[in-house]
Amino acid sequence: MTERETWATRLGFILAAVGSAVGLGNIWQFPFKTGTNGGAAFVFVYLLAALLIGLPAILGEFVVGRRANINAVEAFERLKHPAWTVVGALGLLTGLWILSYYSVVGGWVIRYIFGSATGAYFGDAAGYFASVSAGWEAIGLHAVFMAVTAGIVAFGVEDGIEKATKLMVPSIVVMLVGLAIYAFTLDGSTAAYSYYLSPDFEYLANNLGSVVPFAVSQAFFSLSLGMGAMITYASYLGDDDSLPADGSLVVVLNTAVGLLAGLVVIPLLFVQFGGVPDAAAGGGAGALFVSVAQVFADLGTAGQALGAVFFAVVLIAALSSAISLLEVVTSYVVDNYGYSRPATAFGFAGSLFVLGTLAAWNTAWLTWFDTLAYSVLLPLSVLLGVVFVGWVYGPQAVDEIKKGTSGGETFATAWLWSIRTYVLVGVFVTLYLGVTDIYAAPPIPGL
Ligand code: TRP
């Protein structure tokens, strides 16, 4: 075996993992899913899920990646459990599925960079979203987003994107903090904070079956779990890195960005609509676009520049996530089947573009794509990974966790226990509820 590259610095790994994790999941999805699932009740379950299930699960992927030292599909062979290759394969599939509609939303973001610069939505933010989010324009910009993603993966301007990512995380945080403070000063935002931060446990009790699976899957999506990404990243880790320390940092940073985005979007929705409006009025997939867009509109000329910068940074966040989604499959195929990198990247991107046109044509389809990912693909993929790492690979996994962690014995033992018991049960229940949810109300999109 030749010596493989490893991350030059611990910070390099953390930033790459956070760059992949922080994306539309945090900035676009988290606030609107909070708004459509009962506000703080959802946030409450999400926080528990990220910490109690997401953290052990991300450590499981780190273990597989660092131990195997190779991509997510071959990892299981390298660990001498070839049958479990199906976990890696399912992960790739899940990632591809997600990328097909992720790119549509990426296209919206591109639209909003220009829409801000020209002030196109300044007259009617909600109406503008309704008119540009589906149809030919959305398809065109979905193509642009996909092509840029494929171009970067194909020709590897990764140096550039890596530098951009390093700037991206801090600038996203700065902008979101600024917007959150601004929202706080506006009339009418006060009621938003209790909606967002003080859980309505009665609502939770009555809607447990939908809030729990959505919150748990949201944690998976946001942490880039169940898609081979974290396995691949961790395969470049050296043995002196502490997996628990790195994993915790990724979880905390990623969760913080989501919470912050909620602190912007929810209060702004309250200011404009007196609450979270329903999806048709801009409270669903349009929440980020409609709420934040209105702020820039209110700021007039300054808002044009600020809006363009804000959406440009969101675009970088979306691109850095999309690139790592596509990179996982591309590198696997290039390494194993000898196809050229550009042909592979554009081949996948082209096929996903075609699939995604459905989502770009009608937001009902986009919601359906998203529901399938959330309710079935993500929990299934994570569940299989958890079973593998807990019950099949158990003792060796503990050894791996202990490496590079001083006094890691107790932690590693507790981790294995959690993975084998409540994490497994939690993910299973999430999958079960997700499947029954889809089954009970099949989301058949009207065309
Ligand atoms: N976590 C990213 C986000 O929150 C999106 C994402 C999901 C992702 N799965 C991934 C990114 C796999 C890279 C790899 O937007």
Q: Where are the domains of the chain?
A: 10-440
- How many other CB atoms are there within 10 angstroms of residue 249's CB atom? 16
- Regarding the beta carbon of 320 and ligand 1, being less than 6 Å apart is answered no
Q: Is 5 left (phi over 0), alpha (psi -120 to 50) or beta?
A: beta
Q: Which residue has the tokens 């169940």?
A: 226
- Percentage of the chain lying above the pLDDT 70 cut: 96
Q: DSSP character for 393?
A: S
**Torsions phi, psi for 66 (to 5 deg):** -65, -40
Mention every residue, 6+ apart, whose C-beta is less than 8 A from residue 131: none
Highest-confidence range of 202-211, 318-327, 346-355, by mean pLDDT?
346-355
- Regarding the beta carbon of 94 and ligand 1, being less than 6 Å apart is answered no
- Regarding the beta carbon of 103 and ligand 1, being less than 6 Å apart is answered no
Q: Is 80 left (phi over 0), alpha (psi -120 to 50) or beta?
A: left
- How many other CB atoms are there within 10 angstroms of residue 70's CB atom? 21
- Regarding the beta carbon of 229 and ligand 1, being less than 6 Å apart is answered yes
Quick: pLDDT tens for 291-342: 889 889 998 898 999 899 899 989 988 998 998 889 888 888 988 898 998 9
Mention every residue, 6+ apart, whose C-beta is less than 8 A from residue 105: 24, 28, 285, 318, 366
- Ligand 1 mutation pick, 58, 221, 232, 326, max ligand atoms within 8 A of CB: 221
Q: Is 23 left (phi over 0), alpha (psi -120 to 50) or beta?
A: beta
- Regarding the beta carbon of 217 and ligand 1, being less than 6 Å apart is answered no
Hey, which CATH number is domain 10-440, 2.60.40, 1.10.10, 1.10.4160, 1.25.40? 1.10.4160
Length in residues, the chain: 447
Q: How far is ligand 1, taken at its centre, from the CA of residue 246, in Å?
A: 18
| Gap between the Cα atoms of 49 and 56, Å rounded | 10
Residue nearest atom 11 in ligand 1 by C-alpha distance: 321
Contact by Cβ (8 Å): 230, 224: yes
- Ligand 1 mutation pick, 321, 327, 381, max ligand atoms within 8 A of CB: 321
Q: Which residue has the tokens 């590897």?
A: 156
- Ligand 1 mutation pick, 168, 169, 217, 224, max ligand atoms within 8 A of CB: 224
Quick: pLDDT tens for 83-101: 999 999 999 999 999 999 9
* pLDDT value of position 158: 58
| Gap between the Cα atoms of 277 and 261, Å rounded | 17
The three-class DSSP label of residue 287 is helix
Quick: pLDDT tens for 101-145: 999 999 999 999 999 999 999 999 989 999 999 999 999 999 999
Quick: pLDDT tens for 406-428: 778 899 999 999 999 999 999 99
Residue nearest atom 8 in ligand 1 by C-alpha distance: 224
Average pLDDT score over residue span 140-165:
82
Helices 378-387 and 55-68, packing angle to 10 deg: 60
